[in-house]
Structure 1
Amino acid sequence: MTRPGRPAATPPESVPVREAATVALVRDARVGGGLEVFLQHRVATMQFAAGMSVFPGGGVEPRDHRSDRPWRGPEPHWWAERFGIGVGRAAAAVRAVVRELFEETGVLLAEPDPAAPAGAPLHDPPGTAERPGAAERPGTAERRALDAGEGDLDSLLAAYGLVLSAHLLRPWDRWTTPLGPPRRYDTLFFVAALPDGAEADGGTSEARATEWMRADDAATAGTLGRLGMLRPTLDVLADLAAVDDVAELLATPRVIAPGGR
């Protein structure tokens, strides 16, 4: 019996499982070989994985499902087969993980669209009139708007004559939150190499700090409890710690268990 005035507890099996996508952004370690990975140390007020060290990512939103604009790289059915999901969900997850990466780190996996009209950009980025020759790519204002839920990734890329670079991503794993937590996610894990000239930052309110760490050091810190990590994060880091460089990582075939873990 529930005490008067106290809401009844939600049965664990009735908690909905939401779609999510996350990406381990990596680069070659600057000393000693191996990989460095970009980690976010989440603020303690988050409703899920509060205070944990995680990869950039988040929920797949309805706006991620609403577009069918082509991208460069494997088609949605290829991603669907690798992850063991429907084609529509696979396409939405690719858009979502690229959107989340841009919102949380400023790294945009996109390139000039060869099908876009030649000449002036379709959209004038803020400040380009005062800065002739500035890069014709979305900036801080567009990033904040997207993070606030305004518009969608494909419309933003189209406005700048860009196309999503799905070929820079690789499918890596799939995990579902077990019964118990008040929020549960079926999360698709991707990996991506930091594009040349790009810089990841900590410009997200979801993290108290961000940093590049060697994958082996991060895996050790998670194993010993020096950094709080959920098991999927730690498992992916252990995989990345065994890789010699980015080229090997991107060339490694990956088999994801049907239904994930």
Structure 2
Amino acid sequence: MEESTQTEQPKVIPAATVVIFRHAKDGGAPELLMVTRSRNMAFAAGMAVFPGGRVDPEDFELARELATELPEDEAAHRVAAIRETLEETGLAIGINGEVDAERAKQAREYLLETGALAPVLEKFGWQVAMDHVIPFARWYPKNEKLPRVFDTRFYLADLGTGAVDITVDQTENSRLFWASAAQALEMAEAGDIELIFPTRRNLERLAQFDDFAAAYDDCARYPADTIVPFMEVRDGKRWICIPDNLGYPVDGEPLDSAQRS
């Protein structure tokens, strides 16, 4: 039998991630919620990222049931962003209905039991507020050397002020923390956290904004077109780069210093 010469393509996994804003207590730059991934995870182990994860079949089912004006694929990603945030952090974002710290805690426990957002909505009398999660970016770092790659849509959500109760899930993540975008970049430079290439670029973009409103306006200026990093040679060195017309102040870094997974 003649052997196939076709290169096996990696599995593409749809994913959703949320950049959650809150007002800083000192009135400074807004703080963003980040999680540190567990060291035993297959992807981005030990890295500081934003809450999120893959889009599950149940997310698509709920998106179909909601029958919003959004395309089903987009609605499913927003559902996943809301579900993953509740699961990983205990925060109920993108929800209309009675929400407080205690109900959010109970909802998280029920979500962990059921594994899907739809029964949580029914039990607590909540509705999904699609317009509370704003499309920010979409990253698809193709890499034929990996068995799977994530096609990830990034969203913004504004928590504002008020008491919040967050606890790490202790399975996929080992730490939760709030920091401004500039502070997170400083932490990375000091070696206190590690960042993969897309997270670092997104933090650099987010560091330009003094508040959520400025970030929201930026989303209107730069539609969330798919970003596919590419390689090029600069000054004799290989760089990993992104297009320079999507609102990012830094469009690349040397390959030998970039964390890709």
Shorter-chain TM-score: what band? Answer: 0.7 to 0.9
Map 1:86-105 → 2, pairs under 5 A: 87-105=71-89
- In structure 2, the partner of 1:153 is 117
What is the aligned partner in structure 2 of residue 53 from structure 1?
48
| Match of residue 260, structure 1, among 227, 230, 233 | 227
* Corresponding residue number in structure 2 for 1:126: none
Could you tell me how far apart the structure 2 residues matched to 1:147 and 1:256 are? 34
Contact 1:94 1:166 in 2 (8 A): yes
With normalisation by structure 2, the TM-score equals: 0.74
Matches within 5 A, 1:50-199: 50-67=45-62, 68-70=64-66, 75-77=68-70, 87-109=71-93, 110-112=95-97, 138-148=103-113, 150=114, 152-179=116-143, 180-197=145-162, 199=164
Alpha-carbon shift at residue 249 of structure 1 (Å): 2.1
How far off is 1:65 after superposition?
0.5
Q: CA deviation at 1:217?
A: 1.3
Q: Which amino acid is the alignment partner of residue 169 of structure 2? A: T
Q: Secondary structure at the match of 2:120?
A: helix
Bigger fraction of residues in strand: 2
Q: CA deviation at 1:76?
A: 4.6
Percent identical pairs in the alignment equals 31
Describe the SS at the equivalent of 2:176: strand
Q: Distance in 1 between matches of 2:81 and 2:32?
A: 16
Query: Any idea what the Cα deviations from partners look like across 1:155-174, whole Å, max 9, x if unmatched?
Result: 32133221112222111111
- AA of the residue aligned to 1:112: G
Describe the SS at the equivalent of 2:40: coil
1:28 aligned to which of 8, 23, 30: 23
* Mapped contact 2:137–2:225 kept (Cα < 8 A): no
Q: Output the CA distance in 1 between the equivalents of 2:8 and 2:223.
A: 25
Structure 1 vs Structure 2 CA RMSD:
2.7
Q: Secondary structure at the match of 2:199?
A: helix
Given the superposition, is the C-alpha separation of residues 225 and 151 from structure 1 closer, same or farther in structure 2, using an over 3 Å criterion?
A: closer
SS of 2:226 mapped into structure 1: coil
Please name the residue that 1:128 is paired with.
Answer: none
**Structure 1 equivalent of residue 182 of structure 2:** 216
Given that 2:135 and 2:224 are in contact with CA atoms closer than 8 Å, whether structure 1 keeps it comes out as no
Q: Give, in whole Å, the separation in 2 of the partners of 1:168 and 1:191.
A: 8
Q: Report which stretch shifted further, 35-44 or 175-184.
A: 175-184
TM-score (norm 1): 0.74
The 1:139–1:169 alpha-carbon spacing in structure 2 relative to 1, beyond 3 Å, is: closer
Query: 2: CA distance between counterparts of 1:136 and 1:50?
Result: 29
Q: Which has the higher contact order (CA 8 A, sep 6+)?
A: 1
Structure-to-structure mapping, 1:3-22, within 5 angstroms: 13-22=8-17
The 1:181/1:147 distance shift into structure 2, 3 A limit, reads farther
User: Counterpart of 2:186 in structure 1: which amino acid?
Assistant: T
Distance in 2 between residues matched to 1:250 and 1:200, nearest whole Å: 25
Instruction: State the number of aligned residues.
Output: 218
Cα gap change, 1:103 to 1:254, in 2 (>3 Å): farther
CA contact (8 A) 1:137 1:160 kept: no
Q: Structure 1: where are the runs of 5+ without partners?
A: 1-10, 78-86, 114-133
Flag the 1:173–1:15 CA change in 2: closer, same or farther, 3 A: same
Distance, in Å, in 1 between the alignment partners of 2:104 and 2:165 is 13
